[in-house]
Amino acid sequence: MDLLDVETWQGRIATGGWVSGEGEPLAVRESATGAQIGTLGTASVTQAAEAARRAARAQREWAEWSPSARAGVLRRAGELFETHEDEITPWLVRESGGTWAKAATEVRAAVGECHEASALPTHPQGDVLATNRDRWSLSRRVPAGVVSVIAPFNYPLTLGIRSVAPALAVGNAVLLKPDPRTSVGGGVAIQRVFEEAGLPAGVLQTLPGGADIGEVVVGAPEVRVISFTGSTAAGRKVGETAARHLKRAHLELGGNNAIIVLPGADVAPAAAAGAFGSFLHQGQICQAAGRHLVHEDQAEAYLAELARIASALRVGDPYREEGVQVGPIIDDRQLAGVAALVDQAVADGARVLAGGAAEGRFYQPTVLGGVTARMAVWTDEIFGPVAPVLTYRSLDEAVDLVNASEYGLSVAVLGDVGTGMTVADRVHSGVVHLNEQTVGDESMAPFGGMGASGTGSRFGGPEANFEAFTETQWVTARPTIETYALPSGGRPAR
C-alpha cells in the first residue's frame, strides 16, 4: 500500500487510528483549478477533546522510552520522507499551488528536521548548579506534555514538521491541526510517516478542522504548549486564548520584509535576489520581500531589471505545465486581497512596471515604482507576487524606513558587507541576511521574528527547541535526610 493511499484517510481523521471524522467533510482541492481531488474527515469538538486526553495518556509512556529509541523513530521518519518524496510532492503541488522545485525543498526540509530532531534525545538535558548547601543542585529539561501544532497553508509540510519533530523527540505528544486547504501534504503525510516509523498510537494525532477545532487544541487542559504559525491577526487570537489558560504560545507570524540595495551594489544580481524574494511561491511566504529599498542613484536601473525579470517569469499551473515558476494564489479570497492592494496603490499614484493583473487564480509578478511609505502596499503584508520599490537618499533614512514597520521578521542587505554589518546592528529584525534575499531558514538555525512577526520565540537548533518544547525542573539531592526544626518565634513585645 502506498504511504498516502486514499483509502487510508478518505473521510477520516487520525486519532488513535484512522477513524471517521464527526465534523463536516473537508473537500481536498487543487489550488490552481479549485477541483476536488479528495475528501478528508474533520474532527468534532468532542473528538478533539478526547484526542487531547488520549495524547496525555500516550505521552507518559512515550516519555519513558529510552533516548536512543526515540531517536530511532525520528531517524526512520527522515528516511521515510526521503523514500516517499515522489508520492508526497504531487500533493504539495496540487494543494498549495507551489512548483515542483518548491515541493521538493519542503520534503528535503522535512528530512532535515527529522534528522536534526533525532539528536535531541541524547543532547545534554540540563546543568549542574552551584549551591550554598550540603547537597547536589541541578536543573533538567523535562517534556512539557502535550503540544498543539497549528500549521499554515503556504509551506504546509515544512512549517508543520519543524515543530512536530522536535516536540516528539524531547518526549511530548502532539496534536497537529493542519490548514484546511493543505491537510494532506501538511497533515496526512506527516501522520503516515510517523506511523510507519514506529511512533506509538496516540503520540501524534492529526485533526483537520476549522476554528472550533483550533479553539479545542489551544484550550484543552491537557495541552501545555501551543506552536502556531500563521497570520498576525490569527496569532493574536491564539495568544490571547493561551494567556487566559496560562499556557505558553510560540507564535511565528507575518512579515513585511525589506531588501536594502546599498549604494554601489551590482544591480543585476541585486534585482535577481529581489525577484526571488518577492516572487518565490507567488510571494506567499512570511519571509517574502514586500519592500525594496534602493538608493536613488540606482533606482531606475534596478526597477528596469526587476521588471524585466518579472515579465519573463512563466506563470501557470505547475501540476500540468512544464517550466512554471509562479503558480496560483491559494484561493479567491487571498487573490482579491492582493489585487486590492495593487489597485489602491495605483489609484494613489504608484506605477505598474510589470504585471498588475490576474487571470483566474494566477496573479502576474508585479513591480511597482512611484511607491510612498504611506501606501498600504508598502505598510501591509501582501502575501502575493508584488514588489513595491521605494528610493532612499541616506543609510539613516533606509534604516528608519525598515524600522517603521510593525513587523520584524527578515531583512536582506545587498552590497558592501561592512556597511551591511552596520545595518544589521541597527534594524529590528529576527533574521538579517547579508548579500542574500529575505527567504531562508535551516533546521539547525534559530528562526523567528520581533514585533508583530511573533512573540520572540524561535524554531530550530537545540537551544530553541528545548526552550520551546520542555519545562525546566530544579532538583536537589542530599546524602541523608536533612535535620529540620522549626525556628522559634521572635522576641515578644513588651
Buried b vs exposed e over 263-292: b needs ≥16 C-beta within 10 Å? bebebeebbebbbbbbbbbbbbbbbbbbbb
Query: Taking all residues of the chain, what is their mean pLDDT, rounded to a whole number?
Result: 96
Tell me if 373 sits within 8 A of 401, measured CB to CB. yes
The pLDDT averaged over each successive group of 10 residues in the chain (494 residues) is 91 96 96 96 97 98 98 98 98 98 98 97 96 96 98 97 98 98 98 98 97 96 97 94 94 96 97 98 98 97 98 98 97 97 98 97 98 98 98 97 97 98 97 96 90 86 93 96 88 74
Q: In the prediction, which pLDDT does 1 show?
A: 60
CA distance 305 to 282: 19
Three cell numbers at 207? 485533526
For residue 252, indicate whether it is catalytic. yes
Q: In the prediction, which pLDDT does 488 show?
A: 82
Tell me if 54 sits within 8 A of 241, measured CB to CB. no
For residue 30, indicate whether it is catalytic. no
Q: In the prediction, which pLDDT does 489 show?
A: 75
* Pick from 15, 5, 9: nearest CA to 39: 9
Within 13 A of 165's CA, how many CA atoms are on the CB side?
A: 36
Tell me if 77 sits within 8 A of 48, measured CB to CB. no
Predicted TM-score (pTM) of this structure? 0.95
* Cα 32 to chain centroid, rounded: 22
Choosing from 30, 195, 286, 381, the catalytic residue is 286
Instruction: State how beta strands 362-363 and 366-369 pair.
Output: unpaired
Element (H, E) at 494: none
Choosing from 106, 252, 305, 381, the catalytic residue is 252
Dihedrals phi, psi of 249, to nearest 5 degrees: -125, 120
What end-to-end distance do the CA atoms of the chain give, in Å? 88
Domain ranges of the chain: 6-253+454-477, 257-434
Buried b vs exposed e over 339-371: b needs ≥16 C-beta within 10 Å? bebbeebbeeebebbbbbebeebbbbbbbbbbb
Tell me if 74 sits within 8 A of 168, measured CB to CB. yes
CATH architecture of the region 257-434: 3-Layer(aba) Sandwich (3.40)
Q: Please state which of the four CATH numbers 3.30.310.50, 3.40.605.10, 3.20.20.140, 3.10.180.10 is assigned to the domain occupying 6-253+454-477.
A: 3.40.605.10
Element (H, E) at 465: helix 462-469
